[in-house]
Every structure is written in C-alpha cells, then in structure tokens.
Amino acid sequence: MISEWLIKILEMAATATALVGMILILLITYAFARRVAPKQERGLNKKERRTENMSKEAKEGVTFNDIFMFMIAVPLVLLWVGFAGFVIHSGLGNAAVLENIEAYTTLIAILGGPALLIIKDALDVWKQEQAEKTAFYKIKAQSVIDYNDTVLKQAQDIESKAQEQEHKLQSKK
C-alpha cells in the first residue's frame, strides 16, 4: 500500500519535473531567439537622456545559476522534504512504516547527502552573484547621485553667472 502511494507520488513528481523542464527549455529558446533576432529601431524621433541609456545597458538576464537553482536545486529539495514528510505522516498512522523506518531513513539520507552538498554549492554561487548585483546597483546609484549633483551645481553656476552679468549690465546704466 505504501509502496503504491510512493510510486504514485514519484510518478507525479517526475511528471511535474518534466513539465517544468519543458517550460524552462521553451523560455530559454525564446530568450535566445530574442537575442539573435535583429533589433528594430524604436523611437527615432524621441530624444533620449543619458540616464535612460544607463538603465538600458544594465539589463539583467537569466543566468545559468538561476536556471540551475530552479531546475535542479528546487525540485531536489522539494522531493527530499516531501519524501521525508510523507514518511513521517505515514509513520504516524501506519505501524508497517515504523517497522521499516530504517529503510526509509536510509533512503532519505541517500537523497539528502548529495542534495545538501549540491544545494550548498549552488547557494554559495548564487549568494556571490547576488552580492555582485548588489555592489553593481550601489555603484550605479552613486553614479546617478553624482550625476544629479553635478547637473545641479552646473545649473547653479550658470544661474550665478547670469545674475552677475545682469548686475554688471545694471551697474553700467
């Protein structure tokens, strides 16, 4: 009975993983096609500011680490936690599960050992990537602040020079 439920759960997990894999493959293909396809010129009459160009240059894409996290790590963790939860739930209601608890815990350990190592490494790489993105955004924000300060100072200097010129013209009259 338990093995039938376990087989059904594994079949459903395999089907769900296959569907997610197909969706990800389609998304990757779509993203690749968009990069390869020639870009159309948009807004030829529109005058763009420099800050608009800055935001276009820093577009984020889906990286290999993001795909790895969602294709490998997430399903593995969900399968591992789901199976452990299933064993606990079944063990509370069925004495036959408690008799074979060593086999179930061995299976959980077999799944969990490599899963933890892979997940730890993947999370380390992902954390590093996120730290790099955060550092980039800090630099970008500081650049925008510096740019705005420079523009404000320049506008103040222009206004100050214009007022000085106006005072000189008024004093000559």
Task: Return d(Cα 100, Cα 110) in angstroms, integer.
Answer: 16
The domain tally of the chain equals: 1
Confidence at residue 157, expressed as pLDDT on a 0 to 100 scale: 95
Q: Which residue, 73, 7, 72, 60, is CA-closest to 31?
A: 60
Query: Is 41 within the bounds of a domain?
Result: no
Query: Is 53 within the bounds of a domain?
Result: no
Q: What phi-psi label fits residue 94: left (phi over 0), alpha (psi between -120 and 50 degrees) or beta? A: beta
Confidence at residue 133, expressed as pLDDT on a 0 to 100 scale: 92
Compare 68 and 162 and report the one with higher pLDDT.
162
Task: Return d(Cα 80, Cα 73) in angstroms, integer.
Answer: 10
Confidence at residue 96, expressed as pLDDT on a 0 to 100 scale: 81
**Token code pair at residue 169:** 């013209």
Query: Is 49 within the bounds of a domain?
Result: no
* Residue 56: pLDDT over 60: no
Query: Is 56 within the bounds of a domain?
Result: no
In percent, the amount of the chain with pLDDT more than 90 equals: 22
**Token code pair at residue 92:** 């509370």
Task: Return d(Cα 104, Cα 84) in angstroms, integer.
Answer: 8
Query: Is 156 within the bounds of a domain?
Result: yes
**What single-letter amino acid sits at 69?**
M
Q: What is the DSSP string of 128-153?
A: HHHHHHHHHHHHHHHHHHHHHHHHHH
* Residue 41: pLDDT over 50: no
Quick one: average pLDDT of 30-54?
58
Query: Is 21 within the bounds of a domain?
Result: yes
Angle, CA 28 vertex, CA 18 and CA 22 arms, to 5°: 15
Confidence at residue 81, expressed as pLDDT on a 0 to 100 scale: 78
- Domain assignment of residue 8, given as a range: 2-36+63-172
Quick one: average pLDDT of 112-126?
80
